[in-house]
Amino acid sequence: MLVSAVLIGWMVVSVDWSGVANELRKLKWSAFIACLLGLMGHFAIRAWRWKYLLPVSDTRPSFAALMDGLMIGNFATYVLPLRAGEFIRPLVLTLHASYGFASAFVSVVIERFFDLACVLLSFAVIVYYITGIPPWVQHGAWVLSALAMMIFLFIIAGALLPHLLLAVLEKILAVLPDRVRSALLKFTSEFLSGTRVLAHGGNLLKVIVLTALVWGSSYALSYIYFLPLDMEPSWPLAVTTGVIVALAVAAPSAPGFIGVYQTACIASFELFGYSRELAVAYSLVSHLFQYIVFIIYAWHYFLRSKLSLSLLVKRSRPTAEQASPS
């Protein structure tokens, strides 16, 4: 809350809000049809990928169940603190498919590792297409790209050689206190157990390809969000905004990344010489649009499932505690 409050306060005093209002008055409302199609297409690809991260069973979850989990999870993250959607999402799936919470939750953790690696690689690429980037940022990009490759190799090793990897980690972590070592080994063991699904039926290759499609569609969505505004769409700016927003929302913030999201958009736009007012207008339009879509989807889901957000929160508490390595 404090991080978001500080960033919002900074925007209040550093942005010309009459200029923001002027940008918003020029909105092209018909362009929001493309925004809706882009957003739903992006989450459809995410749902497709999630299927290959779940344990192999005789009955795969339906596409509708995967979409419900993703969309309600994002809705919860946008309205509740502490990224509650990361626990609500697997819980929703367990209500409509034959999976336990632990296995569904581990699939979300593995997915986040893939996403992190892809974002870091994307960042390493875009820094070479932005003029005026300090040398230390370029050097940092090399470090992040190496980290991304290490994450990929860790996942691949976990899928193909889990017992060997766990034995190596046990020796490396032997220098840590018992409590810390036990917690890390428990988490790693559960994580590696979840990665075994990647060794089945070419799932690893499918997930890598779909991860590329997920982030390609994410950057395309950043591009589509330019369309309602009075500006010339730019692919370099779209990719840069997508990467910086993805990195920024990892920071602690209020529900829905309020303040953090807007600041990331400002930083991205200023790299390409655009005004803060246009950046804020873009952030408000894209952010509010996502809020509206998630709220409408959640409203429809709760009506047809006869559930409520408060009930999901209550159910997620004990399962979240069981999933924690501590």
In the structure encoding, which two tokens stand for residue 229, read together? Answer: 């505004």
What is the pLDDT, as a whole number, of residue 326? Answer: 44
66-85 pLDDT, tens digit per residue, is 999 999 999 999 999 888 89
- Position 322 confidence tier, pLDDT thresholds 50, 70, 90: low
What is the pLDDT, as a whole number, of residue 320? Answer: 59
What is the pLDDT, as a whole number, of residue 325? Answer: 47
215-230 pLDDT, tens digit per residue, is 999 999 999 999 999 9
Model pTM score: 0.90
Question: 40-44, 201-205, 317-321: which has the minimum mean pLDDT?
Answer: 317-321
Return the higher-pLDDT residue of 317 and 157: 157
124, 203, 303 from 77: Cα distances, Å: 28, 28, 20
Q: Which of 268, 264, 270 is nearest to 249 (CA)?
A: 264
Q: What angle do CA 126, 132, 133 make, to 5 degrees?
A: 50
Expressed in angstroms, the distance from the first to the final Cα of the chain is: 25
Inter-residue contact 283 to 266 (CB < 8 Å):
yes
What is the pLDDT, as a whole number, of residue 259? Answer: 96
Mean pLDDT, to the nearest integer, of 170-190? Answer: 87
Question: 12-16, 49-53, 186-190, 208-212: which has the minimum mean pLDDT?
Answer: 186-190
> Which helix (H) or strand (E) segment is 3 a member of?
helix 2-14
246-278 pLDDT, tens digit per residue, is 999 988 899 999 999 999 999 999 999 999 999
What is the pLDDT, as a whole number, of residue 236? Answer: 92
What is the distance between the alpha carbons of residues 151 and 157, in angstroms, rounded to a whole number? 10
Signed CA dihedral, 53, 55, 60, 62: sign only: negative
Return the higher-pLDDT residue of 166 and 320: 166
Checking if the pLDDT of 323 tops 80, the result is no
Report how far Cα 93 is from the mean position of its chain's Cα atoms: 18
Mean pLDDT, to the nearest integer, of 161-189? Answer: 88
Checking if the pLDDT of 30 tops 50, the result is yes
Inter-residue contact 7 to 262 (CB < 8 Å):
yes
Checking if the pLDDT of 120 tops 80, the result is yes
| Rg, C-alpha atoms of the chain | 21
Q: DSSP letters along 168-200, please?
A: HHHHHGGGS-HHHHHHHHHHHHHHHHHHGGGGS
